Amino acid sequence: MLAPLNVEGDRNPSSWNDGKVTTTPGFAQAYRQYAEGGWQGLQHPQDFGGRGLPKAIGAACGEMLNSANLSFALCPLLTDGAIEALLTAGSDDLKAVYLEKLVTGAWTGTMNLTEPQAGSDLALVRTRAEPQPDGTYKVFGTKIFITYGEHDMADNIVHLVLARIPGAPEGVKGISLFVVPKFMVGADGTLGARNDVHCVSIEHKLGIKASPTAVLQYGDHGGAVGYLVGEENRGLEYMFIMMNAARYAVGVQGIAVAERAYQQAVAYARDRVQSRPVDGSVAGSATIIHHPDVRRMLMTMRAYTEGCRAMASVAAAAYDAAHHHPDAQARKENQAFYEFPVPLVKGYSTEMSPEVTSLGVQVHGGMGFIEETGAAQHYRDAKILTIYEGTTAIRPTTSSAARRCAMAARRPRPSPRRSRRRKANWPRATASPRAPCSSACPRRAWLSRTWWLSSRSRARLRPTPCSQARCLT
């Protein structure tokens, strides 16, 4: 159902008329089928109507969904992020009202960070949320580039919005997170009046054309009613939980579109007859898959795709162990391990996808450049993956491990003479970090701060000694 709609979405994108967005014909019906099949809740808790399956399974299913239709899959992807944020920071009341509807796919979720002046730099967010006597907030401002910010596929849309409460500190420390529903929700879960959030236009894009990318105007008619998620001024922290889930999922989108481009290129190469193979294995003209350079391209595509899939699968397994392992220490270690590859899954898998889809076009020769073949759509669709959910340049520099790498690279290297003298004076830093005296051991802390350095680089840094006689490190 979804794979044939992929081309249709490219040729007949979502359209805007007087505040309403109509998605590509077939999308609304496909979404109903998707939700009724229970796919939205695949990896979400059973308490809220989900299936409670591991992320490793969710990621594999997500890849297939994205391979079939990248534009469609974005909607469930953002709903997953909203669910994750509410599960982590939402009050019991918010969870009771919104989670089941999101998990079952009855409603969809969005992520509202970007504003005209605040893209990569969220410290510049200006949308404001004014506290009301009844404990709610009135939200005012403009959000741009909001994926599935308006559509006709579900009854309600739950916007998660970053905004500032008056008097909040400047910069990222003064940003809070709010739930702003498109339709107000009654205590019994029924839908009420339209909230004051309106879609004023949607973008015309290079790729993923079927997914509506909305400009949302909050509060032009008295203020959009919003509900604070968690505590004031901790919005960015909560949003990063949502974004970490979304960034992993965007990495999987890269793998998915690469896989589809690869499968299409292989099928074409097995079919297209052109030229005699250089090794003389076929007397006359042969299918182009016989040519070493075509095989090189196909194998490059496959190697990139499978390598990235392996990386994403290892990360998903770590996430599952971090949440479900019976041993608390193993959970902690797996969580630390999971956080390290997430920027790599996002950064590398998305950067490789335009390369792989470009090779897909190349394998098709002139036909790859012709829209009817479909190879060009994968190439155009893939480009956004390196941009949204944090551009490639932003993501690695904001991960703490990568930031430490960058700082270490900037640190001046000691001259060889000074280095020799220091090495002679300092204890060698080769001991195992697995044998500390206690969790408060300063040496253990030093080792864990520097584990990612090579032993040579680590030896250049001053190790923190431990005064405990029984310390094995």
Ligand X SMILES: Cc1cc2nc3c(=O)[nH]c(=O)nc-3n(C[C@H](O)[C@H](O)[C@H](O)COP(=O)(O)OP(=O)(O)OC[C@H]3O[C@@H](n4cnc5c(N)ncnc54)[C@H](O)[C@@H]3O)c2cc1C
State which amino acid sits at residue 198: H
Smallest separation (angstroms) from ligand X to the CB of 208: 6
Distance CA 348, CA 240 (A): 19
Residue 170 annotated as catalytic: no
Smallest separation (angstroms) from ligand X to the CB of 406: 11
Query: Does position 205 bind ligand X by CB under 6 A?
Result: yes
For 65, half-sphere exposure in the C-beta direction (CA atoms, 13 angstrom radius) is: 23
- According to CB under 6 A, which one of 113, 225, 265, 441 is a site residue for ligand X? 113
Smallest separation (angstroms) from ligand X to the CB of 244: 14
Query: Does position 120 bind ligand X by CB under 6 A?
Result: yes
Pick 184 or 393: Cβ nearer ligand X: 393
**Could you identify the residue written with the tokens 């074409």?**
268
Smallest separation (angstroms) from ligand X to the CB of 245: 13
Query: Does position 405 bind ligand X by CB under 6 A?
Result: no
Pick 391 or 438: Cβ nearer ligand X: 391
Which of helix, strand or coil describes residue 185?
A: strand
- According to CB under 6 A, which one of 30, 82, 111, 216 is a site residue for ligand X? 111
Pick 215 or 261: Cβ nearer ligand X: 215
Q: Number of helices and strands (H, E) in the chain?
A: 16, 12
10 Å CB burial of residue 102 (0-12, 13-18, 19+) is buried
Residues contacting ligand X: total by CB under 6 A? 18
Pairing of strands 107-112, 156-163: parallel
**Could you identify the residue written with the tokens 């081309």?**
7
CA dist 451 → 143, 238, 461 (Å): 41, 28, 12
Query: Does position 391 bind ligand X by CB under 6 A?
Result: yes
Please give the structure tokens belonging to residue 62.
């997500």
Pick 145 or 218: Cβ nearer ligand X: 145
Pairing of strands 176-181, 156-163: antiparallel
Which of helix, strand or coil describes residue 329?
A: helix
- According to CB under 6 A, which one of 69, 79, 108, 112 is a site residue for ligand X? 112
* Segment interacting with ligand X, rule: CB under 6 A, options 153-161, 222-230, 254-262, 383-391: 383-391
**Which helix (H) or strand (E) covers residue 224, if one does?**
strand 224-229
Pick 43 or 71: Cβ nearer ligand X: 71
Query: Does position 67 bind ligand X by CB under 6 A?
Result: no
- According to CB under 6 A, which one of 238, 262, 348, 388 is a site residue for ligand X? 388
Contact, 171 vs 121, CB < 8 A? Answer: no
Looking at residues 127 to 146 of the shown chain, list those that interact with ligand X (rule: CB under 6 A).
Answer: 145-146
* Segment interacting with ligand X, rule: CB under 6 A, options 184-192, 219-227, 277-285, 382-390: 382-390
Pick 343 or 436: Cβ nearer ligand X: 343
CA dist 348 → 5, 82, 360 (Å): 28, 24, 18
Query: Does position 98 bind ligand X by CB under 6 A?
Result: no
Helices 235-271 & 375-383 angle (0-180, nearest 10): 160
Smallest separation (angstroms) from ligand X to the CB of 20: 19
Please give the structure tokens belonging to residue 402.
């990568």
Smallest separation (angstroms) from ligand X to the CB of 85: 13
Smallest separation (angstroms) from ligand X to the CB of 388: 4
Query: Does position 117 bind ligand X by CB under 6 A?
Result: no
Cβ contacts of residue 312 below 8 Å, gap of 6+? 59, 248, 251, 252, 255, 345, 349
Query: Does position 266 bind ligand X by CB under 6 A?
Result: no
Give the residue numbers marked as catalytic: 389
Write out the residues near ligand X by the rule CB under 6 A. 111-114, 119-120, 145-147, 205, 213, 384, 387-388, 390-391, 393-394
